[in-house]
Amino acid sequence: MHLIEAVKHSDSIYMPIPARITDVSPLTALENLYTIELPHDLSLHHTPGQFVQVSVLGVGEAPISISSSPSRSNGTFELCVRRVGDLTSVFHRLKPGSIVGIRGPFGRGFPLERFRGKDVLLAAGGLGMAPLRSLINEVLDERGNYGRVIILYGCRSPEDLLFKEELAEWEARDDVELHLTVDCPTQGWSHCVGVITKLFDEVEVSPRNTMAVIVGPPVMYRFVIAELRELNIPKCNIWLSFERRMKCGVGKCGHCQLNHIYTCQDGPSFSYMEVEGLEEAFA
């Protein structure tokens, strides 16, 4: 785990580092993409799959997955924030130039060293595309190190799709296989209609050479895992991201605990073999 080089400024991992919002881009009616810049002598040094704790003075703190890839940091990083509560509602009113607090990055990201040389199948549901985008762009920026890249993405409606411009770019690439589905299509929708598991009808894989990643609401995990196992992808090649009530980020408060596992430290990225027996993880 790489923490911000905050030890230069503070003796406490609980002390947020002030960072500046440099850009705000609306993605949907509920989600904005924020570009965050740390002080000039600090870098985030994250890996895809990690998260940061974001705070607004006088309001509170919340864990947010990092949406940008390390390969495209340029001294900044990106967070996709959905407006769902007090903190995120205040966050959505912030403008470029506003100061927020950042702690992290925390947790275990995806093991890219195990993915290299393999085909990669990436399945996202809804807001799950926000953290998965970090991994996707990292893979695409090292495209020669991977085999096939297959992206499955499901949402409630076309309006709810995140990163629409990037989806169009991925769809146009010859070296990316993008499959989209929505529950409620609108006029002009030309892709699949239905739950994300329907997309597996369009996919053929080489099981032993495929690494699969699932990010989305836990309710979808059981069904996507069943499809992956039907394709004979080994359990050790299936990775998931679990996000729970990660308050402290360093395994002290216990809010994110799943049986014996602390999501903030042992995860949020897990091999299916590590969590197969944890029923509450899939609830």
Query: Which two structure tokens, joined as six digits, stand for 148?
Result: 């096939």
Judge whether 202 lies within some domain.
yes
Residue 259 φ/ψ, nearest 5 degrees: 55, -115
Q: Mark which of 80, 105, 130 sits at the end of a domain.
A: 105
Residue 5: predicted pLDDT: 53
How many residues are there in the chain? 283
Judge whether 238 lies within some domain.
yes
Residue 48: predicted pLDDT: 97
CA dist 282 and 156 (Å) reads 20
Instruction: Please give the full DSSP string across 208-257, using - where no structure is assigned.
Output: GGEEEEEES-HHHHHHHHHHHHHTT--GGGEEEE-----SSSSSSS-TTE
Domain CATH for 255:
3.40.50.80
95 and 144 housed in the same domain: no
Judge whether 257 lies within some domain.
yes
Domain range for 41 is: 6-105
92 and 116 housed in the same domain: no
133 and 97 housed in the same domain: no
Domain CATH for 17:
2.40.30.10
Residue 244: predicted pLDDT: 65
In this structure, what DSSP letter does residue 154 have? E
Q: Is 220 within 8 Å of 129 (Cβ atoms)?
A: no
CA dist 19 and 62 (Å) reads 15
Judge whether 148 lies within some domain.
yes
Domain count, the chain: 2
Residues 175, 215, 46: CA angle, nearest 5 degrees? 80
Q: Mark which of 42, 72, 105 sits at the end of a domain.
A: 105
98 and 168 housed in the same domain: no
134 and 227 housed in the same domain: yes
Spans of the chain below 50 pLDDT: 1, 6-9
69 and 144 housed in the same domain: no
219 and 244 housed in the same domain: yes
52 and 141 housed in the same domain: no
Nearest in space to 102 (alpha carbons), one of 153, 56, 164, 168: 56
259 and 145 housed in the same domain: yes
Judge whether 277 lies within some domain.
yes
Within 10 Å of residue 18's Cβ, how many Cβ atoms?
A: 13
Q: Mark which of 71, 105, 139 sits at the end of a domain.
A: 105
Q: Is 89 within 8 Å of 59 (Cβ atoms)?
A: no
Judge whether 1 lies within some domain.
no
Query: Which two structure tokens, joined as six digits, stand for 190?
Result: 């030309």
Residue 4: predicted pLDDT: 54
* Residues linked to residue 53 through DSSP beta bridges, in sequence order: 63, 103
100 and 141 housed in the same domain: no
51 and 168 housed in the same domain: no
127 and 233 housed in the same domain: yes
Residue 64: predicted pLDDT: 95
